Every structure is written in C-alpha cells, then in structure tokens.
Structure 1
Amino acid sequence: MELEAHDNSAHSCEARKIVLLDKDRLHPHRFSKTRKLYVALTVGLLMFNSTLSSSLPGGSSFYIAAHFEITEPLQQILISTTYLAGYIIGPLIFAPMSEHFGRKQLLLSTSGLFFVMSLACIFSPSYTALLVFRFFAGMGGSAPISVIGGVYADIYPDPGSRGTATAAYTMGTTMGTVLGPTIFGYVAYDNWRISFVLVAALAAIAFVGMLFVPETYVPVLEQIQAHRARCSTSCRVLVSNKDLDERSLSIILLTSTKRPVELFATEAIVFFSSLYCALVFAILFVFFAAYPYIFRTVYGMDHKTSGLAFIPIGVGTIVTMPLCMAYDRFREKQMQKGKRWATKEEYRRLPLACVGGALLVASLFWLGWTSKSSFHWIVPMMSGLPFGIAFNLVLIALFNYLTDSYGIYSASALAAASCARSILGAVLPLAQDVMYANLGIGWATSILAFAAVALIPVPFFFIAFGPQIRQRSPFCQAAQQCK
C-alpha cells in the first residue's frame, strides 16, 4: 500500500510515496498459528535460558570461590549479583534498539553476545574475568525481558491471547530460575564449569532457532518493504514512515532511557507495580541461599538433596496456568451474563494478584516457623507450593495490567519494572547471610513476610482507583487514543 507525502527539500524531485504494510498478507497478526507458536517458543527459550543462567551458577558460587581462593562471603555471591547488574542496564538500552533495528536483529545479536559470554565463563582465567563475563552475559540475557512483551504484542492482537502468552512466558522464566539449583545439585556439583557448559549449549540452540524467526515489528517490516521496492524500481521515491523519522539512535536511546525513569517516578501504577514485582523477585533470589542454609543446617541434607527443595516452587508454577485459564473462563461467563464488573480493565487479571498476595505472605510465615527439627523436612519444603503460585500470579497480573494500561508505552513501563526487580534482586541477597545468622530462620523470613504484607493492598488499590488513575495519566490517555 502506498500513500503520497510531499518533500519540500531542495534535493527532492518528486513526491515521496509512503509504503504501508499489507495488513491482509504480510502483517504479523496474519501469521499462521504454527508460525506464531514457533516465534513464541523460540523467544521463550531465550527467556528460559537467561533466567536459568541467573540461578544455575549461583549454586556453585562456593566452589567457584574456593577455586579462585575467594574467602570474603560478599564477594562469593557476586557471581549472581553481577549478572543481575547486567539485567538492570540491558532493558534500558535494548527496548529502544529493538524499535530502531527490529526485534529479530536485536534478539539475534544479544543472544550471540549471551552465548559468547557464557562460553567465556567456562575458560575464565580469574575471578575478576568471570565477573566481567557474567555482567555482559546478563546484559545479553536481559534483551528477551525487554523485548518479549513487544514480540507478543506484534503477533497477538487479542488481549486474551496475549495475556495467555504472557502468563506462559512468566511461568517459563520462573521454571528456569528454580530449576537452576536442582540441576546444579546433580549435574555440576563435581565441576562448577559444567554449569556454564549447559548454559552455553542451550544458548547455541536458541541462537540457531532465532535465525529462522521472522521480523515482527511493523515499522521495520515497512522499511524493509520500501527498500525492496526502491531496488526494484527507479522512477519512484518509496519510503516508510520509519524512514521519515529523522531522529538518530542516540536521541532515541536518550528519550527511551529517560521514559522508564519518568514513568517510575510519576506514575502510581508503574511505581507500585514495580515495587511489588521487585519484592517478589528478590525474595526468590534470597531463597537461593536460604533454602540450602535451612535444609542443610536444620535437616542435614547434602547438596544434591537440598536442591530438590525447589521442586514444590516449580510445581506451584505449573499449577498457575490452569488457575489463570479458569479465571478467564469465569470472567467471560460473567461478561456474557452482563455483569458490569467483568468488563472493567482492572478485573482482567488483578484479582489473581489479590489471591497471590495472600498466598505469598502465608508461604513465607509457613517456611519461617516450620523450619525446625521438630517438624519433618517435607513441611517447610511444601511452603514452596503456595509460593510458586503466588510468585507467578502477582507477576502475571501486574505485567498484564502494565501492558494493557500503557499500550504503546508498555515497553517503557515493563523496563521500569524489570530494572526495579533486578536492582532489589541484586541488593537484597547481599543482606541474607547477616539476616539469617543474626535473626534466625523464623524472624529473618518473617521480615520478608512483613514486607509482603505491606504490599498486599496494591492490587486492591488498583481495582478501586485504577480507572481514576488512568484517567489522570497523560501516558495512559495517549496510549488509549492510539488503540
């Protein structure tokens, strides 16, 4: 499709014709179900591998420290915190770059960076070099976090399908994170380098898969189409809307980097959603040290057996999907019956976060006060089941609410949430040794529970006042007009 646009510059000899993507044939919304599934699964594999890498080497931090003769406890856990530091910076850069170069080129280059850095970790000559490699691996691994929501929005126009895809990838990220300690106990216990061998092997598979993923970002597809048209004809000046955007990449990066900070500082929905997601994410990372401490110290388990303590969290993650689907069916039936509440944006997912918040608090108190020799080890271990459900319900609900509320600005809103959770996820575990050593298991875990109690009202607040907040938000209103 072509539209005429006049160029008054001195170098223009004719009117420019703007190329628009053929929505009936070429638009990503029109991809076949098989093609959409391939795109979703491949990008999901990138996400899974990234989160697996965040936790898998963490289990071997003690052995890595022993190999490089690192004795300071805070330095030992830098193997995880440096990776998360890359998670903080990456989304701010890669989200706007995906809109400049396209989703495929960005994911292909960053997955290549992730593979190379993971490979370099295997042959690290020093602890400092290993930390540098981990930082850049974290940057490369953070790209799917900042782009996957945009990819799903590109191929799934229906909020229901997009919400299901978002729920699936959220669960995939959780599974990747919680499987790390379990895999380490049985695969990499005797040799810490095997952790990175496994990550690098999966990264290579994902990179090859990305080679066959089509571009999904419409402005870039239009730019490609215009370029091909210019190559095939010499008598017309054909351009895309993106070609007319004269902003440089540096300006785009500056604007897009500033926007997540602005949203976090001025938008109540973004601020409180980011805070809640950050706490939930940080608690999971605290568990990577707390679980081994609890089940080895109190119950005398070895490294292999204590890694199995994370399985209930994984089971809770699996249970989350049918719960989300059941709620969707219930809401659809209520809409068909003409129930007004079911049509409101806030009721699309937020009630799930209300349930998740209560389960989160219960699971933390359960773990903290049953981790005693007077209780069988299965009792505190099973607290992971409601925690796994709560973790995913909160993240799925709030991520979807951010996406639905901020539309074209959702990438920036999600980038703000991603940076916040990575910052807290990197910082809070630094205090875990002091907490559990000085306060004991019960009170140290209860502090996390009290923080979770303080944030329980967040989804209820959004349900009650969300429409008014969105009405007053310039970003939400601008996004609404673009729908």
Structure 2
Amino acid sequence: MPVPDFVRDSFVGQVIYYASGRRLFRYPEERPGFVLPPRYLSNSNEKPSRDSPASQPRDRRDSALSQRGPRSGSDRSQTLAEEPSHRDSKRKRPAGPLERESSQARELLHVHGRDAAEIEKAEEREIESSTIVDWYGPDDPEYPGNWSFLKRSFVTFQIGWLTFAIYIGSALYAPGIQDISQKFGISPVAASLGITMFMILSPLSEIPQFGRSPVYMVTMLIFVLLQIPTALAKNLGALLPLRFFAGFVGSPPLATGGASLADMWPPADRVVVIGVWSLAAMCGPVLGPTLGGFATQAEGWTWTIWILLWLSGTSWVFLALTMPETSSQAILYRRAVRLRRLTGNPDLKTQAEIEAANMTMNEVAMMTLVRPFLLGFREPIVIFWNFYLGMIYGILYCFIASFDVVFIEHHHFNLAQNGLAFLGIVVGGVIAFFGFLPWALFSLKPKFANGTFVPEDRLPPAFFGAFFFPASLFWFGWTSAASVPWILPILASGLWAIGAFYLFQAGMNYLADCYPRYVASVLASNDLFRSSIGAAFPLFSTAFFHNLGVGPALSIIGGIAIAMLPVPFLL
C-alpha cells in the first residue's frame, strides 16, 4: 500500500522499510510496472559523456535543476518511466555567479592530505568505468528542488521548528540560575556555566551514506534523553557535563539547518526561507526566558528542564514520523543502492559515492570536522561575518543578563514579568521579517530572473542593520534607569532585533552564495563562532553590568558595533 513520500522518507519510515526487508514503503523502482532507464540495465551500456548531466559537477547540476522549480503533478507522474534525452543536454552549462569560490577556498576545501591530482585521476578512472546514477530527468520528483511548494514549505517549517526546539534550551535555563545558585550553594557565575556549556557546539559530519535526516533524528533523540538526568541532577558536577553533551548532540540543526533549506529552494527563494529559519533561531533563545521565568517562579529550576524535555520529545516524535531526507547526495546514494540490488550491476554508483570511496578516514575527518575551522580562520569573508554574527549572538545572551538588572532590580519585575519583557525582541524580529519581504520579492528576485545577480546583492539589508544595531544598544543602555518608563528599553530591544535580523539575513545568505558547493561547512563554521562567542558572554555579563552600570557597559559594546559598521559596505 503506497504511503506519502514524506512518511516513507522519514526516519521512522526508513526504519520500517529496512526492518521489513524492503517489502513495506517501497520506492517506485521496486514496484511492478516500473520501467528502468536503459543506461542502468547492463555494464555494457555506453557510459555518460563527461559533458552529460550525469558527469557534470553536482553543484552545477543541482543549481540548474533548482532553477526550474516544482512541476505540476501530471508532469511528475511520467518522470520515473522516462529516459531523458542526453543528446539535447550535452551542452556544458556555463558556471554562473553562484558557483564561484575564491582560489584560497578551492585550495583549502579540496585538500586531502594526499596528492590532489592523484586522487582526481583515480576518481576520473572510476567514473569512466562506472555508470553514474543521477536524476531520471529534470522533472525527477525525488529531487528536493522539484518537490511541491506545499511539501517544501512543510519541511521548511520542520527545520525551523527543530532549530527552535533545540535553541530554546540554551536560554530556558537562564531564569533558574538564581535558584540553582541557592540550592547547590554556588555563585551565580558558576551556575551560568549551564548556558555556556550548552552553547559550545560541534558540527557533525555530512556523508552521503548518512544524509541529514538520520543525523538530525539520532542526535535529537539523545538530546531528549539527556534532559531526564539533567533535571534530576543534584550538583554542579553532574549538571554541567549533561548540559555540555546536550548542546553537543543538539548541534546539527543549528549548524546545517540552512544547508537543508538550500537543498530544496533555489537561490531566488532562499532569501525568504532562510529569513523564516533566522526568525526561528532568534525566537528560541528569546522565548526561553519567557517560559523559563514562569516555570522557575512556580516550581523551581528543574521545571525549565522538564519543559525542554516535553517540547523536544514531542518535536522528535513529530519530525521522526514526517521529516524527509533533503540531501541530494544521500537521496541519490539510496537510489544507487536500490538499482544495484535490482540489476545486479555493481558499477552503478553516484559521483559523491566515488569521491567518498577515494578518501581515507583521515581525509573524511578533514573534510567534515577540520574544514569548518579552517574556513573560519583563513577565508576573510567568513572571518568578518563570523565575528559580526557572533557579536549579535553574544549580545543576545548579554541581554538575558541585562534584563535581570534592568527589569528585576530597577523596575522590580518578578521572574515571569521579566520573561515577558523579551517579547519586544520577538515583535521586532517579526516586524523585520515582514519589512524585509518587499525588498526580497521586488528588488532581489528580478535579478535572478534576468541573470544579473551576484552575491553582493544580498548585502543592502545589512546597511540598515549595521546602523540599527549600535543605535539600539545605546538606546537600551541609557534608558535602563529606574526613573525611565520600562517600555523604552523594551522598544530599544525591538530595534535591536530588527538590526540583528537584517545582519543575520544578509550574512547567512551571502556566505551561502559565496561558497555554494560548501554551504554546510561554511554555515557550520559560522555556527561554531556564534556559539563560542555566545557561550563566553554569560560568564561576565552580570558582573559587567553591575560594576559599570547598564548604560556604560552597553556603550562599550555599542562602540565595538560601530567599529564593525563598515564591514557590509566594504564587502
């Protein structure tokens, strides 16, 4: 009995598929009546030309396919039984502006530890002797860029929700710091290490044999289970390691969520969907103190962790049942496995599979773990944006400490009321998103249509954000006194959210466009810097604001933001 594709391709669907010996949740190739394309039937078939779609670099083919957009249902129904005409597609597509990389990036990202030319020759020999498994045609329904608009929107919501459910764990803990300090007999700074340890994240590897969805689901399940001993911890020695491991295993959606969106959406639409993802990433740590404040005030700090358990646990069930794989490389690898089993032809392979087979474990580790570090320290574009966006996240966690000083100590809010003060940031983020849409739709999108787009076209929103960012810090700092109405610093936090959203939007999209083939590594590098800076700020924020005062303290940070203001203009 056929099941919806998103259920079949979900984590649970894949478990059922393999556990049933591939008898349940079958793919089109495994159903009666499927017509296999002739080039996959035997070893003697003519191999694809080096200029054919099957042998072109993956990022070029994916970019070309994604520009076509989703097809109608009637068009899709015929795709799997049709063999594409390669005679009409042997023209080599020129590399567009989205495919350019700096020479230093190419040198860095293609380094393997062995002679690169030797590896490339070995890959070429294997490609020549193999039949490359690729999409069945430009309208292949399994290609994420050809999914229906509704399906892509649904998966986009899932990526955003997954990011929110993990990120809220960083700040949900914050209102319980004083309670932890009292019950464990430690200083508030030591208690705040629970935020810091959670924010030290490590991006996990992306390998075609794994894909994104299994990594998301397995790591999130561990994240959910870790919340139980965390809530039951009786001392700091147990609490901090558990918070660290929860942050570590929760890192994949934060590091590669943007790459998952890039799998499905063409560059012209990516500016909007990454905006949705950015809003989810912002709302997580902002709404954390709101929920955590009510929970801590009513039941103590442990209830902040129980809420995180319920939220992440129900999210895992929902996503495990309905979230499909988005990685083109993983989808094609699974297709190759099915075709090898059906035809008995061991030479049916994907290009990514051949590339992975020619790499040692050391080289795989270099590609997936070391590359984000190297990108973050050696590529000037990545360095600038990593520190800029890291500052945004660091100041977000500074706000968590400053709100306690401004609204609890100065305006005598209780924990629950202090949590509600963070809603100003949420409202500012929503205003920024809807203010951003007209520019994205009516200014940026036509540049894709007429072929004049370059990555720097992503940067104009950052021009406004670069000014709003420091202005909001001075405004918040110098209206934080008890004699000033409490609404004014909340309005300032809303302006900060607008500036932060515009900078985040411009930076993330710009990085993705400058390194299209290595989106996951670039975004993982950015996440590493953001998380590290965000982890450091809670350690000194409270003493910083108490010793200097909120106005002078935020003025210092605002001065740093002014010094960074020229970055988007120079780029």
Shorter-chain TM range is 0.7 to 0.9
Q: Distance in 1 between matches of 2:426 and 2:278?
A: 12
Q: Distance in 2 between matches of 1:126 and 1:265?
A: 37
Q: Distance in 2 between matches of 1:97 and 1:113?
A: 18
Task: Provide closer, same or farther for how the CA distance between residues 302 and 251 of structure 1 changes in structure 2, counting only shifts above 3 A.
Answer: same
Give the deviation of 1:398 after TM superposition. Answer: 0.4
Task: Provide closer, same or farther for how the CA distance between residues 374 and 231 of structure 1 changes in structure 2, counting only shifts above 3 A.
Answer: same
- Structure 2 equivalent of residue 22 of structure 1: 136
Counterpart amino acid of residue 426 in structure 2: G
- Structure 1 equivalent of residue 416 of structure 2: 304
Give the deviation of 1:160 after TM superposition. Answer: 2.3
Please tell me whether residue 78 in structure 1 is matched to residue 187 in structure 2. no
* Equivalent in 253, 262, 269 of residue 144 of structure 1: 253
Give the deviation of 1:128 after TM superposition. Answer: 1.6
Q: How does 1:423-462 map onto structure 2 within 5 Å?
A: 423-462=532-571
* Equivalent in 346, 360, 364 of residue 473 of structure 2: 364
Q: How does 1:155-234 map onto structure 2 within 5 Å?
A: 155-156=264-265, 158-189=266-297, 190-211=299-320, 212-234=322-344
Please tell me whether residue 285 in structure 1 is matched to residue 397 in structure 2. yes
Give the deviation of 1:441 after TM superposition. Answer: 1.6
Q: Distance in 2 between matches of 1:373 and 1:58?
A: 23
CA RMSD of aligned residues (A): 2.6
Please tell me whether residue 326 in structure 1 is matched to residue 438 in structure 2. yes
Give the deviation of 1:314 after TM superposition. Answer: 0.7
Task: Provide closer, same or farther for how the CA distance between residues 296 and 408 of structure 1 changes in structure 2, counting only shifts above 3 A.
Answer: same
Q: How does 1:101-140 map onto structure 2 within 5 Å?
A: 101-140=210-249
Checking the alignment, whether the CA contact within 8 Å between 2:268 and 2:448 is kept in structure 1 is no
Secondary structure in 2 matching 1:375: coil
Checking the alignment, whether the CA contact within 8 Å between 2:469 and 2:561 is kept in structure 1 is yes
Secondary structure in 2 matching 1:357: helix
Checking the alignment, whether the CA contact within 8 Å between 1:42 and 1:206 is kept in structure 2 is no
Give the deviation of 1:410 after TM superposition. Answer: 2.3
- Structure 2 equivalent of residue 41 of structure 1: 157
Counterpart amino acid of residue 131 in structure 2: K
Please tell me whether residue 399 in structure 1 is matched to residue 508 in structure 2. yes
Q: Distance in 1 between matches of 2:206 and 2:494?
A: 38
Q: Distance in 2 between matches of 1:413 and 1:76?
A: 32
Give the deviation of 1:102 after TM superposition. Answer: 0.4
1:431-458 deviation digits (Å, cap 9, x = unpaired)? 2123212211210111111111111111
Task: Provide closer, same or farther for how the CA distance between residues 81 and 99 of structure 1 changes in structure 2, counting only shifts above 3 A.
Answer: farther
1:274-321 deviation digits (Å, cap 9, x = unpaired)? 110011110000111111111122112221212221111110011111
Checking the alignment, whether the CA contact within 8 Å between 2:181 and 2:188 is kept in structure 1 is no
Counterpart amino acid of residue 47 in structure 2: E
Checking the alignment, whether the CA contact within 8 Å between 1:100 and 1:249 is kept in structure 2 is no
Secondary structure in 2 matching 1:173: helix
Q: Distance in 2 between matches of 1:428 and 1:335?
A: 40
* Equivalent in 31, 48, 53 of residue 147 of structure 2: 31
Checking the alignment, whether the CA contact within 8 Å between 1:42 and 1:209 is kept in structure 2 is no
Task: Provide closer, same or farther for how the CA distance between residues 101 and 69 of structure 1 changes in structure 2, counting only shifts above 3 A.
Answer: same
Please tell me whether residue 57 in structure 1 is matched to residue 100 in structure 2. no
Task: Provide closer, same or farther for how the CA distance between residues 183 and 213 of structure 1 changes in structure 2, counting only shifts above 3 A.
Answer: same
Task: Provide closer, same or farther for how the CA distance between residues 351 and 69 of structure 1 changes in structure 2, counting only shifts above 3 A.
Answer: same
Give the deviation of 1:334 after TM superposition. Answer: 7.8
Q: Distance in 1 between matches of 2:540 and 2:207?
A: 36
Give the deviation of 1:75 after TM superposition. Answer: 0.8
Q: Distance in 2 between matches of 1:199 and 1:288?
A: 18
Secondary structure in 2 matching 1:383: helix
Checking the alignment, whether the CA contact within 8 Å between 2:290 and 2:422 is kept in structure 1 is yes
* Equivalent in 521, 524, 528 of residue 419 of structure 1: 528
Counterpart amino acid of residue 444 in structure 1: A
Q: Distance in 1 between matches of 2:175 and 2:236?
A: 16
Which consecutive unaligned segments of at least 5 residues does structure 2 have? 1-36, 41-45, 49-120
Checking the alignment, whether the CA contact within 8 Å between 2:272 and 2:440 is kept in structure 1 is no
Runs of at least 4 residues of structure 1 off by over 4 A? 332-338
Task: Provide closer, same or farther for how the CA distance between residues 337 and 144 of structure 1 changes in structure 2, counting only shifts above 3 A.
Answer: closer
Checking the alignment, whether the CA contact within 8 Å between 1:21 and 1:218 is kept in structure 2 is no
Q: Distance in 1 between matches of 2:163 and 2:445?
A: 33
State the TM-score, normalizing by the size of structure 2.
Answer: 0.74
Give the deviation of 1:333 after TM superposition. Answer: 8.7
Secondary structure in 1 matching 2:515: helix
Of residues 449-458 and 305-314 in structure 1, the stretch that sits farther from structure 2 once superposed is 305-314
Secondary structure in 2 matching 1:371: coil
- Structure 2 equivalent of residue 4 of structure 1: 47
Q: Distance in 2 between matches of 1:440 and 1:236?
A: 69
Secondary structure in 2 matching 1:4: coil
1:147-169 deviation digits (Å, cap 9, x = unpaired)? 2122111111x212111110101
Counterpart amino acid of residue 519 in structure 2: S
Q: Distance in 2 between matches of 1:256 and 1:150?
A: 14
Checking the alignment, whether the CA contact within 8 Å between 2:184 and 2:234 is kept in structure 1 is no
Q: Distance in 1 between matches of 2:453 and 2:147?
A: 29
Secondary structure in 1 matching 2:351: coil
Checking the alignment, whether the CA contact within 8 Å between 2:177 and 2:188 is kept in structure 1 is no
* Equivalent in 471, 484, 493 of residue 375 of structure 1: 484
Secondary structure in 2 matching 1:382: helix
Secondary structure in 2 matching 1:101: coil
Checking the alignment, whether the CA contact within 8 Å between 1:58 and 1:77 is kept in structure 2 is yes
Which structure would you say has the larger Rg?
Answer: 2
1:27-73 deviation digits (Å, cap 9, x = unpaired)? 11111222212221112111001111110011111112222222x23
* Equivalent in 341, 364, 373 of residue 261 of structure 1: 373
Of residues 209-218 and 442-451 in structure 1, the stretch that sits farther from structure 2 once superposed is 209-218
Checking the alignment, whether the CA contact within 8 Å between 1:360 and 1:452 is kept in structure 2 is yes
Q: How does 1:333-352 map onto structure 2 within 5 Å?
A: 343-348=453-458, 350-352=459-461
Q: Distance in 1 between matches of 2:151 and 2:498?
A: 30
Counterpart amino acid of residue 220 in structure 1: A
1:315-347 deviation digits (Å, cap 9, x = unpaired)? 001111111112124415985999x9x844312
Give the deviation of 1:127 after TM superposition. Answer: 2.0
Checking the alignment, whether the CA contact within 8 Å between 2:206 and 2:368 is kept in structure 1 is no
Task: Provide closer, same or farther for how the CA distance between residues 58 and 248 of structure 1 changes in structure 2, counting only shifts above 3 A.
Answer: farther
- Structure 2 equivalent of residue 313 of structure 1: 425
1:413-436 deviation digits (Å, cap 9, x = unpaired)? 222211111111111221212321
